Structure 1
Amino acid sequence: MGDADAMVVLDALRGCVGAAQVLTAATDTAAYNEDWRRKYHGRALAVVCPGSTAEVAAVMRVATAHRVPVVAQGGNTGMSGGATPDASGRQIVLSTRRLNRIRHIDAANDTLVAEAGVVLQAVQEAARAAGRLFPLALAAQGSCTIGGNLATNAGGVAVLRYGSMRDLTLGVEVVTPDGRIWDGLRGLRKDNTGYDLKQLYIGSEGTLGIITAASLKLFPQPRATLTALMALPSLDDAVRLLAEARSAMGAGLTAFEVISAPCVPLLQRHFPALRWPFAEPHPVVVLVELSDPEDEAHARALLERLLGAELDAGRVLDGVVAESLQQTQALWALRECLSEAQALEGAHIKHDICVPASAMAAFVADAGQALQQAAPGARVAWFGHLGDGNLHFNVLAPPGQDAAAFVARQDEINRLVHDRVAACGGSISAEHGLGQLRRDENARYKSPVELALMHTLKAALDPLGLMAPGKVLQT
Structure 2
Amino acid sequence: MSDLIAALRGAIGATQVLTSADDMAAYLTDWRGRYQGDALCVVRPGTTEEVAQVVHLCNEAKVAMVPQGGNTGLCGGATPCGGEVLISLARLNRVRAVDTDNNTITVEAGCTLHAVQEAAHAAGRLFPLSIASEGSATIGGCLSTNAGGVQVLRYGNARELSLGIEAVLPDGRVWNGLRGLRKDNTGYDLKHLFIGAEGTLGLITAAVLKLFPLPRRRATAWVAVASPAAAVSLLTQLRSDCGDAVTAFELISATALELVMRHIPGSRQPLAAPAAWQVLLELSEFAANNPDVELENSLAKATGVQDAILAQNESQRLALWRLRENISEAQKIEGFSIKHDIAVPVSRIAEFVAAADAAIEKHFPGVRVVCFGHVGDGNLHYNLSMLLGVENAGLIARSHEANLVVHDIVHSLGGSISAEHGLGQLKRDEIKRYKSETEMELMQSIKHVLDSHGLMNPGKML
TM norm structure 1: 0.96
Q: CA deviation at 1:402?
A: 3.2
User: What CA distance in whole angstroms lies between the structure 2 residues aligned with 1:8 and 1:358?
Assistant: 57
- Opposite residue 290 of structure 2, the aligned amino acid is H
The answer on whether the counterparts of 2:35 and 2:76 sit within 8 Å (CA) in structure 1 is yes
Q: How does 1:440-455 map to 2 (within 5 A)?
A: 440-455=429-444
Q: Work out whether residues 68 and 92 of structure 1, in 8 Å CA contact, stay in contact via their aligned partners in 2.
A: yes
Determine whether 1:303 maps to 2:300: no
State the shift of 1:83 in Å: 0.3
- Alpha carbons 1:347, 1:396 under 8 Å: kept: yes
CA contact (8 A) 1:376 1:398 kept: no
Q: Does 1:408 align with 2:397?
A: yes
Q: Partner residue of 1:71?
A: 66
* Counterpart mapping for 1:335-414 below 5 A: 335-399=324-388, 401-414=390-403
**CA–CA separation in structure 2 for the residues paired with 1:157 and 1:232:** 19
Match of 1:340, SS state, is helix
Once the two structures are superposed, the pairs formed by residues 72-91 of structure 1 within 5 Å of their partners are 72-87=67-82, 90-91=83-84
Counterpart contact for 1:347–1:406, Cα < 8 Å: no
CA shift at 1:262, angstroms? 1.7
Give the aligned length. Answer: 462
Partner of 1:328: 317
Tell me by how many angstroms 1:465 deviates.
Answer: 0.3
Aligned residue runs from structure 1 range 122-271, under 5 A: 122-271=115-264
CA distance in 2, matches of 1:352, 1:144: 18
What is the letter of the counterpart of residue 98 of structure 1? R
Partner of 1:470 in structure 2?
A: 459
Q: How far does the alpha carbon of each residue in 1:373-421 deviate from its partner, in whole angstroms, 9 at most, with x for none?
A: 1111001110000000000000111446433222101000001100000
> 2:293 is matched by which residue type in structure 1?
A
Tell me the distance in 2 between the aligned counterparts of 1:451 and 1:246. Answer: 37
User: 1:226 Cα shift?
Assistant: 1.5
Contact 1:35–1:78, Cα closer than 8 Å, also in 2 = yes
CA contact (8 A) 1:253 1:291 kept: yes
3-state SS of 1:167 partner: coil
The aligned residue for residue 45 of structure 1 is: 40
The answer for the alignment partner of 1:23 in structure 2 is: 18
User: SS where residue 62 of structure 1 aligns?
Assistant: helix
The one of 36, 50, 58 aligned to 2:53: 58
Q: Which runs of 5+ in 2 are unaligned?
A: none
1:165 aligns to what SS in structure 2? Answer: coil
1:98 aligns with: 91
Deviation, structure 1 residue 160: 0.2
Deviates more, 1:119-128 or 1:395-404: 395-404
- The question of whether the paired residues in 1 share the 8 Å contact of 2:220 and 2:283 is answered with yes
CA drift of 1:264 comes to 2.5
Give the corresponding residue for 2:111. Answer: 118
Distance in 1 separating the partners of 2:276 and 2:237 = 19
Q: Secondary structure at the match of 1:243?
A: helix
Matches of 1:374 and 1:442, distance apart in 2? 22
Q: Percent identity at matched positions? A: 55
Aligned to 1:285: 278
Amino acid at match of 1:363: F
Q: What is the rounded CA distance, in whole Å, between the counterparts of 1:187 and 1:426 in structure 2? A: 32
State the 4+ residue runs in structure 1 displaced beyond 4 angstroms.
Answer: none
The alignment's C-alpha RMSD in Å is: 1.0
- The one-letter code matched in structure 1 to 2:383 is N
- Counterpart CA distance in 1 for 2:352 and 2:440 is 26
**1:350-387 deviations in Å (ceiling 9; x for gaps):** 00000111111111111111111111100111000000
- Distance in 2 (CA, whole Å) between partners of 1:397 and 1:346 is 10
| Shift in Å, 1:268 | 1.8
Q: 1:176-209, CA deviations, whole angstroms, 9 ceiling, x for partnerless residues? A: 0001011000100000000000000000000000
> Shift of residue 271 of structure 1?
2.3
Distance, in Å, in 2 between the alignment partners of 1:279 and 1:125 is 35
Output the CA distance in 2 between the equivalents of 1:279 and 1:409: 38
Deviation at 1:95, TM superposition (A): 0.4
**Residues 132-141 or 337-346, more deviating:** 337-346
Question: Structure 2: which amino acid aligns with 1:404?
Answer: A
Deviation of 1:23 after TM superposition, in Å, equals 0.5
Asked if the contact 2:372/2:382 (under 8 Å) is kept, the reply is yes
Question: 2 CA distance for matches of 1:230 and 1:83?
Answer: 37
Give me the whole-angstrom Cα distance separating, in 2, the residues matched to 1:399 and 1:359: 32
SS of the aligned residue for 2:347 comes to helix
> What amino acid sits opposite 2:285 in the alignment?
D
Partner of 1:3: none
Partner SS state of residue 154, structure 1: coil
Task: Give TM-score, length-normalised by structure 2.
Answer: 0.98
1:8 aligns with 2:3: yes
